[in-house]
């Protein structure tokens, strides 16, 4: 149904192959959170790989920065309808974390956990093969608190709620366990190109 | 449709008719939408609006529902005109009563309140961020709740206070509800109101009006507003797990 009197004004027209359905382009970097922005000092920061309840490997901030660092430039898509193109990140690929830990993914699913109690589920196939990283820098600068600093997950091919801010652990799970938003009406997988915004899409 | 009906938890798109439009402030209007199939919702949830251009291009935006779940058949959306806003410009410059638009929802399972969530209940709104808080306040009144509740609402000027007359009337009606206005670019009109940036002292004074820490705090507004308010609330010792936020984005 065409909406009477509505016409396109958005710049998305210039890049139709890069803007998923229902999204529009933004130049700024909106901030969305479910609660207050946590305060995480670098001295207290750590990141843990877990197989079920069992911690497999833990890195401090200094140890994390001794790992191979990767830069990537990616388009990101937020379920609240904005997309942002060519965002430059750096951090540690999940592949490199697994290699460093000497760990083959023990299950097909994972949950990312954050300092504020947030969690989100991502299939392991979407985390490996260079598809995802734990990002510590944006545009060459340490990642700002508002955007998930000190470190956030970056899974840019899924809606951005999957890229958990303030990440502190990645846990392999036997089943695909719904995370925070997935339990609150949002899609279990979240592919922007299939417009999987809400439960059952 | 058969597929939709078996996926019980899938919320389909539908058409809604703009039943009436009410001016709130110079930059804000309320739009009352009557959907083909009204869905019950929870106070604080948002509705997706879907506009379709003649070439098939779709623009989608989320707007908090400001009406209460008890207002069956309608959703009230509060739309502020944004510079360069593709959808807000349509609402303000084109939309008329009788027009049909696409909608989905309401959605959202976190920034929501119902009577059994209890209180004391602290609501903090900046600008049009008052919309979901209004739904919560109206719902609280509709169920006859007297849970101690404070709305600290920050607007630029007295004339930018959305729902001003209704809020003042609810404040005067008592029932354990207190309205505190903060006018960031105007002089306070009432002794209990303020006219500065929300700071730690203002929040401490607000919290002191409750006998105990709020059971839940809802903060909605711009990122700068929500960031400032929640940082100060953490400084004052509030448990972050009791604070729910919604920030305007994109």
Q: Give the tens place of pLDDT for each residue, A100-111.
A: 999 999 999 999
Cα A49–Cα B245–Cα B10 angle in degrees, nearest 5: 75
Among B107, B129, B147, the domain-final residue is B107
**Paired sense of beta strands B100-107 and B75-80, if any:** unpaired
Q: Give the tens place of pLDDT for each residue, A54-65.
A: 999 999 999 999
In this prediction, residues A128-133 reach a mean pLDDT of 98
SS3 of residue B179 by DSSP: strand
Q: Determine whether the interchain pair A31/B227 forms a contact, defined as Cβ–Cβ distance below 8 Å.
A: yes
Q: Determine whether the interchain pair A198/B104 forms a contact, defined as Cβ–Cβ distance below 8 Å.
A: yes
Is the Cβ–Cβ distance between A57 and A48 less than 8 Å? yes
B123 and B208 within one domain: yes
Residue among A3, A32, A184 minimizing CB distance to B109: A184
Is the Cβ–Cβ distance between A164 and A181 less than 8 Å? no
Q: How many residues does chain A have?
A: 201
Q: What is the CATH number of the domain that holds B102?
A: 2.40.30.10
- How many helices (H) and strands (E) chain B has is answered by 6, 11
Q: Determine whether the interchain pair A184/B110 forms a contact, defined as Cβ–Cβ distance below 8 Å.
A: yes
B127 and B93 within one domain: no
How many other CB atoms are there within 10 angstroms of residue B158's CB atom? Answer: 15
B160 and B68 within one domain: no
Q: Determine whether the interchain pair A13/B57 forms a contact, defined as Cβ–Cβ distance below 8 Å.
A: yes
Q: Compute chain A's Rg from CA coordinates.
A: 17
pLDDT of residue B8: 52
State the ipTM, two decimals: 0.94
B97 and B29 within one domain: yes
Map tokens 């199939």 to a residue. B37
How many domains does chain B divide into? 2
Q: In angstroms, what separates the C-alpha of B172 from chain A's closest C-alpha?
A: 31
B222 and B102 within one domain: no
B86 and B171 within one domain: no
Check CB contact of A9 with chain B, cutoff 8 Å. Answer: yes
A9 pLDDT band, cuts 50/70/90, is confident
In this prediction, residues A117-121 reach a mean pLDDT of 98
Domain of residue B64, residue span = 2-107
Helix ranges, B41-120 (H): 86-93
B165 and B102 within one domain: no
Beta strands, E only, chain A: 24-25, 46-51, 54-60, 70-77, 82-93, 109-114, 119-123, 133-138, 141-142, 152-154, 167-173
B180 and B83 within one domain: no
**Paired sense of beta strands B75-80 and B58-64, if any:** unpaired
State yes or no: pLDDT of B26 exceeds 70.
yes
B231 and B152 within one domain: yes
B242 and B126 within one domain: yes
Burial A30-43 (b: 16+ CB within 10 A, else e): bbbbbbbbbebeee
Is the Cβ–Cβ distance between A92 and A138 less than 8 Å? no
Among B40, B75, B107, the domain-final residue is B107
Check CB contact of A182 with chain B, cutoff 8 Å. Answer: no
Give the residue among B196, B204, B192, B199 at the shortest CA–CA distance from B156.
B196
Cα A55–Cα A57–Cα A59 angle in degrees, nearest 5: 120
**Paired sense of beta strands B149-155 and B75-80, if any:** unpaired
pLDDT of residue B85: 86
Is the Cβ–Cβ distance between B39 and B95 less than 8 Å? no
**Paired sense of beta strands B177-183 and B149-155, if any:** parallel
B149 and B97 within one domain: no
B1 pLDDT band, cuts 50/70/90, is very low
State yes or no: pLDDT of B171 exceeds 80.
yes
Among A3, A178, A194, A198, most B C-beta atoms within 10 A, so best to mutate, is: A3
Q: Determine whether the interchain pair A81/B61 forms a contact, defined as Cβ–Cβ distance below 8 Å.
A: yes
Spatial distance between the Cα atoms of A181 and A184, rounded to a whole number of angstroms: 5
**Paired sense of beta strands A24-25 and A82-93, if any:** parallel
Give the residue among B149, B142, B162 at the shortest CA–CA distance from B221.
B162
Q: What does pTM read for this prediction?
A: 0.95
Burial A4-21 (b: 16+ CB within 10 A, else e): eebebbbebeeeeeebbe
Among B107, B141, B176, the domain-final residue is B107
B125 and B73 within one domain: no
Is the Cβ–Cβ distance between B147 and B115 less than 8 Å? yes
Q: What is the CATH number of the domain that holds B165?
A: 3.40.50.80
């Amino acid at each position: 149904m065409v909406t009477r009197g509505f016409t396109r004004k958005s710049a998305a027209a210039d890049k139709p192959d890069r803007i998923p359905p229902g999204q529009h382009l933004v130049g700024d970097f909106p901030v969305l959170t479910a609660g207050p922005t946590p305060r995480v000092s670098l001295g207290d920061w750590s990141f843990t790989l877990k197989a079920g309840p069992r911690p497999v490997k833990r890195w401090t901030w200094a140890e994390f920065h001794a790992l191979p660092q990767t830069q990537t430039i990616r388009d990101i898509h937020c379920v609240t309808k904005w997309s942002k193109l060519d965002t430059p990140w750096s951090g540690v690929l999940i592949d490199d974390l697994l290699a460093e830990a000497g760990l083959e993914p023990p299950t097909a699913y994972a949950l990312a956990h954050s300092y504020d109690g947030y969690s989100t589920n991502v299939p392991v196939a979407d985390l490996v093969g260079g598809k995802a990283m734990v990002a510590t820098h944006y545009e060459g600068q340490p990642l700002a608190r508002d955007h998930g600093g000190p470190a956030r997950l970056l899974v840019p091919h899924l809606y951005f709620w999957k890229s958990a801010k303030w990440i502190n652990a990645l846990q392999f799970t036997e089943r695909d366990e719904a995370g925070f938003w997935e339990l609150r009406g949002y899609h279990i997988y979240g592919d922007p190109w299939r417009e999987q915004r809400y439960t059952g899409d | 449709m058969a597929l939709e009906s078996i996926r019980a938890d899938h919320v389909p798109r539908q058409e809604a008719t703009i039943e009436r439009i009410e001016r709130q402030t110079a930059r804000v209007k309320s739009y009352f939408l009557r959907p083909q199939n009204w869905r019950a919702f929870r106070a604080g949830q948002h509705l997706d609006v879907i506009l379709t251009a003649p070439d098939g291009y779709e623009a989608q935006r989320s707007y908090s529902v400001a009406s209460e779940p008890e207002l069956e058949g309608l959703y009230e959306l509060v739309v502020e005109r944004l510079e360069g806003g593709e959808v807000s410009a349509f609402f303000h410059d084109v939309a008329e009563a009788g027009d049909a638009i696409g909608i989905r929802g309401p959605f959202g399972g976190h920034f929501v309140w119902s009577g059994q969530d209890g209180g004391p209940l602290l609501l903090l709104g900046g600008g049009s961020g008052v919309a979901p808080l209004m739904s919560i306040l109206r719902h609280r009144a509709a169920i006859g709740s007297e849970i101690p509740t404070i709305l600290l609402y920050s607007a630029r000027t007295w004339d930018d206070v959305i729902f001003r007359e209704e809020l003042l009337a609810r404040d005067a009606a008592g029932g354990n509800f207190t309205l505190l206005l903060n006018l960031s670019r105007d002089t306070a009109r009432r002794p209990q109101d303020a006219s500065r940036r929300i700071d730690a002292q203002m929040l401490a004074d607000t919290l002191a009006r409750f006998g105990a820490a709020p059971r839940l705090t809802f903060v909605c507004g711009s990122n700068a507003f929500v960031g400032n308010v929640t940082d100060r609330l953490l400084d004052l010792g509030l448990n972050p797990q009791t604070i729910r936020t919604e920030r305007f984005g994109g």
